[in-house]
Every structure is written in structure tokens, then in C-alpha cells.
Amino acid sequence: MLARDWRGGELRVLAAALVVAVASITSVAFFADRVSRALVRDAHQLLGADLVLVSDHPWQREIGDEIARRGLERAEAVNFISMARAGEASTLAGVKAVTQNYPLRGKLRTAPAPNAPDEPAQRGPERGSVWLEERLVSALGAPVGASLKLGSAEFKVAAVLTLEPERGANFFNIAPRLFMHAADLPATGLVQTGSRVWFYLYAAGEPAAVTAFEGWARERLARGQRMDNLESGRPEVRASIERAQSFLGLTALLAAILAGVAIALGTRRFVERHLDGCAVMRCFGATQGRLLQLYGAEFLLLGAGACALGCALGFVAQGAIAAALGELLRASLPPPSPLPALQGFLVGVVLLLGFALPPLVQLKNVPAVRVIRREAGAPRTSTLAVYATGIAALSGLLIWQAGDAKLGLTVIGGFGAAVLVFAAVAWGALRLVSAAPVARRLGARSTALRYGLANLRRHARGNAVQVASLALGLTAVLLLTFTRNDLVDAWRRSAPPDAPNRFLLGVQPDQVAAVNRFFAERGIAAPELNPMVRGRLVAVNGKPVAEADFGEERAKRLVEREFNLSYTERAPAHNQVVAGSWFKPGARELSVEEGIAKTLGWKMGDELTFSVGAQRFGARITSLRKLRWDSMKINFFVIAPSALLADFPASFVSAFRADAQHEAALNELSKRFPNLTLVDVGAAVKQAQGIVDHVINAVQFVFLFALGAGLLVLYSALVATEDERRREAAVMRVFGASRRQVTGSQRAEFLAMGLVAGTLATLGAALIGQLLARQVFELDLPPSPELWIAGPVTGVLLLSLNAWLSARKVLSASPALTLRDSV
């Protein structure tokens, strides 16, 4: 029977829907799987490894040995600040002595001269040579080939260092970087007891082995030793990855839901075309159970085949995407795991059972009398209730797939609400359009128009369903083109290309005016100087704070160190108060970052006591703030009103943007104010933006598939009523309708439907976009005029095209044949 129905043609559409659905789901899932694995791996590049161990004294031998014993790669580095000398010039350098296999993740990049094109370095510096950051080259006047002295050893400058993956993690390195070979370290005589030196151990390898080692090593960490992984190390990187995963999850969700709609529409057409056949089988004694069995088996067979083909196609497609995007992704993707195939298969089966079975069940209910009276046993209009099981199962699956209940529910809720609202509004709008005075006046002049508009009212229910389906598909298309672009733009703006690339530290209160003047005189936008007071947390609600009170490593570290406190009257523009309200000037109140409050167990209303030097002050927490870590701006965990902190010794810090032409001015700044520390974060910013771009590219490609699924829904919605329209046109022609009347009436009807569908879709896309932007991505999305033009126009164009194609089909077929076919 499958083969027979296949030849009949109806199943092909359905199978195509299922294949495309599963293919798009699996290719999205495969690709998303690979991309997110690549993202996690790439993020590790910012650490230089999967796991970084940092100590203020040399590492116990057993820890280093354990890394090797567990089959993990190991690299080492020693960091310290020292004076580098070349001829007459001398300057502080941030020395990093590394083993030659550093870094384990990512690559160092070097160039033969400042501003020359760079390329990745295959290994660290050779013995006896050093690599210098560009700033150091110019400060020392030591180009490649020159010699420089470090402690008591002499080195040759071998390359200009252009990128150090780990650099972002060390924003506050005061001095420009100098790379050397670890084995040369003893010769310098710089590492002595009491020197301020950091010892780094890097580990990388299979995730399971890394995790196991992490657990093992954590128990052996002594005072002054800590461990950084992706979770603890880089809040701004984690934020980017979480957002990327939200985007990819959303895309997969949309593809799956759209596929469900397409399959429901396709099955309905199949059922309509099989009613007669079923009636005949019922006539010849087939029981209801037998019919259900027959068609159930046929659909399952079809489903299995289509799912398998879909998975295979999905796999091929993701390979092709990866190949096509290889250059764009700038990173090799790890091979996909088999999980997405399983996921695709499961989604396919759920789609088939949930959306094809309910209409299919109607086939078994066809009364045998239909053989005589064709009207008997016509399929009931599909209600939401019919699809309840399917929708529920799909929702569960999608939430699981999205891995984020909030995102899943937002999309499903929005989609469900859209279906109901679309159908209701479409019904009302179509009746309204057909009854509008303008339509009546136009109709008086043209029969075709009058007939088309009258059809809008007559077909109101059927048309409303079609308009709602169209609007859904179109919503997805708009969401994935215009709204997506707007979201991506908004996202890009949140880490803008003019993000600050310099940190200025240690400005004394009496230098603030002079520094501001310095910037103004050189035409650089004056940086906002934020006061910073260093204080240690001593008590919470009067109870003294001890490091041992906290279980979490990050909490211990935070409590152990001095806090950077700031004071201001207004909440920083890039911070968002998420609980309580911003303090009033002069109040004894604090505003605290919500993440640190959570880590340290602080709650609104808690009284915190800090000691600054020999003095203490206390204040209550009255607001919690959310920070944008990826904004590259200066952020403070704790902010107090000026009155509370202004009398304490403070220095000022700032983040600002300087371009290449300001380089000389900045060198002058260092000379004029030798106590200031100027940190070049350009490299780190570039690196973070590289990741963001990488993510955007991946997301955009993945969106194409969901777009395909959206178009499939559009197509299914359009062909769903094609049979009926053809027959109607044939009857019209029999009763004397001219070509113009047939095409004109269809055009009028389709145009109105397109306008309503386009407008609804625009509304839907704009609403969902806003909802996503605010609730999920925490972005501001300005309204898009392009969307409001493109939405309705696309609706009208699409249905005009359909009207044209449909009229051509109708007019090219003999009405006698069409009518005979439909008997």
C-alpha cells in the first residue's frame, strides 16, 4: 500500500516534509553540537588549556607528575615582573617563562616586525631568545635581532608577540609581555626566595580525564594555590557562550515546531484524498481497527524511512556546512557526537505520531455510506485538542533539546498564543476586509473583485486557518531574517567595536584634573575616572567573616582579597538594578553585584562591614545589580554613596578607547605621570570579539535551516487548499467565468489573505523579538521600520505569486478533466 500511495503522489509531499524536518533538525543539532563543542574548546584557548593551576610558590612535584600520569598534556609557565634593559633603555616587562609546548589550547601569534602580518607560532621561544610585545619593542628600541638583558642573562629578540591567548585573563598585567624559554630562567637569577612570582601548571586532554584530575588536585591545593577552569576563570567568555547556546537552541526549536505544522497540514491533505478509498474498504468489510492498523503501519514505515533519510541528509548537510564555513569559522570543528541523530529520529517520530496520527485516526471513522454520499464522513476541522498530545510531547522534547526551560517555554508559549490569536484575528480581519466600504465600492466595478472579496467572507473559517498557518510560517521567516538581524545587531552593539581597549589605573585624586586636561588637549575623549577604594570585608550582619566559613573556592578567594569598592551617586549606565532600588545620596547603603551576592550568600538588607586601612565602615545592601561582563567597561562588585567613602584614600581607574593615532600621546601620558599604569586590553577585546563573531557566523548559518522549515510550512499551507480551489475554478469556468474572472477573483482573495497574513506575521515577529530580546537575551531591541514594510509586502507578494501559479494550473487543465477527477 505504501508503494501504491507513493505512486499516487500524496505521500511524497508528506515524506518530503518529514525528511526536510528531520534533516533540518538533525543538521541543526549536529552542527550546533559541533559548534558548541568547538566553542567550549575555543574558550579553553583563552585559558591556554582546559585547566590552569596557579600558585604563589613552586608546585609540588606530585601534582605535575599526576597530570602526565593521567595521560593529560602538561605545560608550565612562570610569571613575574622584571626590568628589561636594551642599551640605554630600560622598562618593566611582564615576563612569562614557558615550556615550549605552551599553550596547550590556542596558539601564540608572532610577527617578524611591528605591524607586519602575523602568523601562529608552532612552539614557544627557543632557548636564548625572547619574544616581545610591540609596546616593549618600541619602549626598549629593540627590534627583532637586537639583544636585551634580563637579570644576569642576555637574550636575542626573535619575534614580535602579537597574540597571547591567555592575555585576556591577565588584563591587569601592568607591564608589556616578554616571552622566554623556561629552561633559561635559572640563568637570569631573577627567581629568588621572596620574589613575587606566579607558578602556572597547564593541563589539557579528554574532558573526563581533565575533570577527574581536577577533582583529585582540588583536594591537594595548599594556601596560595588555586585552579581556573572555564567556569571559574572567565565570566565574560561564559556569558558569550551561554548566549550562543540560547541562540542555537532557539533555532532548533523553531525548526521542530515548524516541521510539526507542515506535517499536520500535509497529513490533512493526505486524509482528504483518502476518505473515498477508506469508505470503499469499509464497504468491503474492513474494520475500523484494520484501517487504523493499515494506515498506521504505512505511516510508521514511511516515518522510519523518512527519518533515516532525514538523519543521513542532516549529517551530510552539516558536513557541507562545516566545509563551507571552514574559513569563516576559523577553527576546525570537532566531529559530531551520535546524539543528534538519535534526537532527530526521536523528534521525527514524535512529529509523526503527534501531528499525523490524529488526522489519520479520522480515516478509520469514515462511514461506508460515503461511497454513496460523498459528504458523509468529511474530516472534522482540526482542533487544537486533536493535536494536544502531539503538542505536549513536542513541547517536552523541545524543552529537553533547548536545555533551557525558560527559553523553551517562551518560544512554545509564544507560538501557541500566536496560533490562537492568528486564527481568531485572521477570521475577523478577513470578514472585515470583505465588508469594508472600500471593498464594496471596488467590487461594484469588477465582478472578479466582488466575487473574490465575497469568497473571503464565505471561506472565512477555512481561510482563517490558512492565513494563520501562513502567518506562522511567515513569522518564522521574518523572525529569522529581520528580527534575527536586529537581535544580532543589538548583540553586536552590546560588545561594540568601539569597546574600551585601555585601562588606566592608579590615578591619584590630585591628578584627576590634570589627566582629564591631558586627554582633552590631545583630542582623546576624556575617560570617565571611577574612584576606587580598597577594603577588606570584615563582618556580615555584625558577624566576623572568616575564609573557612565558605565552601566554594571562588568565595574563599573573594573574601581573602581586598575588594575594589567604588562610590558614585548614579548607577553606572551599563549596570542594571535587578532588586531593590538605587540608594539616595548620603544614605548608609550599598549596591552589590548579584553574582557576588549569590556566591557569598549576601541578601538584601544584610549589613556589610569593610575595613579600609585602620578605619571601618558599615552599610546595608539595598540593591542588587546585574553587570555586563562582556562590555569591557570598568565594573565594581560593591558601590556606595560618595558620602560614605569619599573620605577614604582612593585612586581612580578608567576604561577608554584609544586608536593607533593616539599611541604617541599615550606614551607621553606614561612619561608625564610615571605612577600611572596603562593597560592595553586591545588584544583581549579583539579576542573576545573574535569569539562573538565566530558565534554569530555559526548562528546565522543554522538559521538558514529553520528558514527552510518556515518556507515548508508556507508551501504546505498553500497547497492545502489547492485541490479545492482548482475544483472551484473549474466549476466557475463551466458556468461561464472568463480567465480574468477566475484569476481576478483568486487574486483578490489571495491579496487580502496575504496582507492579513503578512501583517499578522509582522506583529508576531516584532512581539516575539521583543520578548526574546528582553526576557532571554537581555538586550534592548529598537523597533524596526524595515520589518513593518517587509512583512506585509512579503505576505502580499508571496500570495500573489501563489495566486498566479494556482491560476495557471487551473487554467491550463481542462475543466472537464478537473471535474471528472474530483468526482
Closer Cβ to other proteins, 228 or 749, answer by number: 749
Instruction: For other proteins, give the closer residue by CB, 327 or 375.
Output: 375
Residue from 700, 709, 762 nearest 257 by CA: 709
Q: Which is nearer to other proteins, 154 or 821 (CB)?
A: 821
Contact status: 687 vs other proteins (CB under 8 A): no
Taking residues 99 to 128 in sequence order and writing x for each that binds other proteins by CB under 8 A, - otherwise, the string is ------------------------------
269 near other proteins (CB under 8 A):
no
x/- map, 403-442, other proteins, by CB under 8 A:
----------------------------------------
Residue nearer to other proteins on the CB measure, 445 or 570: 445
Minimum CB distance to other proteins smaller for 680 or for 728: 728
Chain mean position to CA 124? 34
For the CB of residue 740, give the shortest distance to other proteins in the complex, in Å. Answer: 7
Q: Is 821 in the site for other proteins (CB under 8 A)?
A: no
Q: How far is the CB of 699 from other proteins (least distance, A)?
A: 43
Report which of 274, 779, 315, 261 is spatially closest to residue 476, judged by C-alpha positions: 261
Contact between 381 and other proteins per CB under 8 A: no
751 binds other proteins, rule: CB under 8 A: no
Q: Which of 447, 599, 642, 770 binds other proteins (CB under 8 A)?
A: 447
Going by the DSSP 8-state scheme, the letter that residue 112 receives in this structure is S
Q: Which of 740, 782, 789, 801 binds other proteins (CB under 8 A)?
A: 740
Among 41, 135, 459, 726, binds other proteins (CB under 8 A): 459
Q: Is 817 in the site for other proteins (CB under 8 A)?
A: yes
Shortest Å distance, C-beta 430 to other proteins: 13
Q: Which long-range contacts (CB under 8 A, 24 or more apart) does 777-786 make?
A: 777/243, 777/246, 777/487, 777/490, 777/491, 778/576, 778/626, 779/487, 779/490, 779/491, 779/494, 780/490, 781/483, 781/486, 781/487, 781/490, 782/486, 782/490, 784/482, 784/483, 784/486, 786/482
Q: Which stretch binds other proteins (CB under 8 A): 490-498, 525-533, 637-645, 736-744?
A: 736-744
Which listed residue (741, 746, 759, 784) binds other proteins by CB under 8 A?
Answer: 741
738 contacts other proteins (rule: CB under 8 A): yes
**Interface region with other proteins, contact rule CB under 8 A, candidates 170-178, 269-277, 696-704, 807-815:** 807-815
C-beta closer to other proteins: residue 304 or 731: 731
Using rule CB under 8 A, residue 451 touches other proteins: yes
The radius of gyration of the chain from alpha carbons, rounded to an integer in Å, stands at 34
CA distance 221 to 55: 9
Residue of the chain from 739, 778, 805, 808 that contacts other proteins (CB under 8 A): 739
Query: What DSSP state is assigned to residue 378?
Result: P
Q: Which stretch binds other proteins (CB under 8 A): 93-101, 166-174, 444-452, 762-770?
A: 444-452
In terms of C-beta density within 10 A (0-12 exposed, 13-18 middle, 19 or more buried), how is residue 697 classed?
middle
Residues 360-379 that bind other proteins (CB under 8 A): 372-375, 378
**Judging by beta carbons within 10 Å of its beta carbon (0-12, 13-18, 19+), is residue 209 exposed, middle or buried?**
middle
Q: Report the distance separating Cα 319 and Cα 355, nearest Å.
A: 30
Q: H or E element: which one contains 396?
A: helix 388-402
* Number of Cα atoms under 13 Å in the Cβ half of residue 410: 22
- SS3 per-residue string spanning 616-671: EEEEEEEEEEEECHHHCCCCCCEEECHHHHCCCCCEEEEEECCCHHHHHHHHHHHH
Binding segment toward other proteins, per CB under 8 A, in 87-95, 360-368, 693-701, 729-737: 729-737
Query: Which of residues 272 and 560 has its CB atom nearest to other proteins in the complex?
Result: 272
Q: 733-749: buried (b, 16+ CB within 10 Å) or exposed (e) per residue?
A: beeebeeebbbbbbbbb
Per CB under 8 A, 454 contacts other proteins: yes
- Candidate residues 218, 380, 493, 820; the one interacting with other proteins per rule CB under 8 A: 820
The least distance separating other proteins from the CB of residue 466, rounded to whole angstroms, comes to 12
Yes or no: say if 444 and 458 are a contact pair by the CB < 8 Å rule: no
Closest Cα partner for 530 from 555, 492, 500, 487?
Answer: 500
Stretch that binds other proteins, among 49-57, 154-162, 578-586, 723-731 (CB under 8 A): 723-731
Q: Using CB under 8 A, which of 183, 734, 801, 805 touches other proteins? A: 734
Q: How far apart are CA 494 and CA 303, in angstroms?
A: 44
Smallest gap, in angstroms, from Cβ of residue 714 to other proteins? 22
Q: Which is nearer to other proteins, 200 or 451 (CB)?
A: 451
Find the binder of other proteins among 450, 484, 502, 657 (CB under 8 A). Answer: 450
Closer to other proteins by Cβ: residue 49 or 453: 453
- Work out which of 724, 778, 786, 821 binds other proteins, going by CB under 8 A: 724
Which residues make beta-bridge pairs with 179? 96, 131
Smallest distance, other proteins to C-beta of residue 694, A? 53
- Three-class DSSP labels, 765-788: HHHHHHHHHHHHCCCCCCCCHHHH
CA dist 783 and 775 (Å) reads 16
CB of 266 to other proteins, least distance (A): 21
Query: For residues 505 and 819, which CB has a smaller minimum distance to other proteins in the complex?
Result: 819
Q: Which DSSP state fits 386?
A: G
Residues in binding contact with other proteins, number by CB under 8 A: 36
**Cell numbers describing residue 690:** 573574535
Q: Is 51 helix (H, G, I), strand (E, B) or coil?
A: strand
**How far, CA to CA in Å, does 214 sit from each of 74, 165, 204, 553, 558?**
13, 21, 11, 13, 21
Distances (CA, A) of 440 to 437, 743, 746, 747, 799: 5, 19, 17, 16, 22
Give residue 307's identity as a one-letter amino acid code. C
Among 728, 748, 758, 762, binds other proteins (CB under 8 A): 728
* 504 membership: H or E segment, kind and range: strand 502-507
Given the C-alpha cell 486557518, which residue does it identify? 465
Q: Residue 188 or residue 818: which is nearer to other proteins going by CB?
A: 818
SS3 assignment for 402-427: HCCHHHHHHHHHHHHHHHHHHHHHHH
Closer residue to other proteins (CB): 230 or 819: 819
Range 199-218, binding other proteins (CB under 8 A): none
CB nearer other proteins, residue 147 or residue 738: 738
DSSP designation for 88: T
Residues 753, 459: Cα–Cα separation, whole Å: 11
Q: Which stretch binds other proteins (CB under 8 A): 159-167, 360-368, 688-696, 808-816?
A: 808-816
Binds other proteins by CB under 8 A, chosen from 732, 757, 766, 807? 732
In this complex, which beta carbon is closest to other proteins, that of residue 370 or of residue 694? 370
Tell me the residue ranges of DSSP E strands in 30-72. 51-55
The site for other proteins (CB under 8 A) is made up of 372-375, 378, 447, 450-451, 454-455, 458-459, 462, 724, 727-728, 731-741, 811, 814-817, 819-820, 822-823
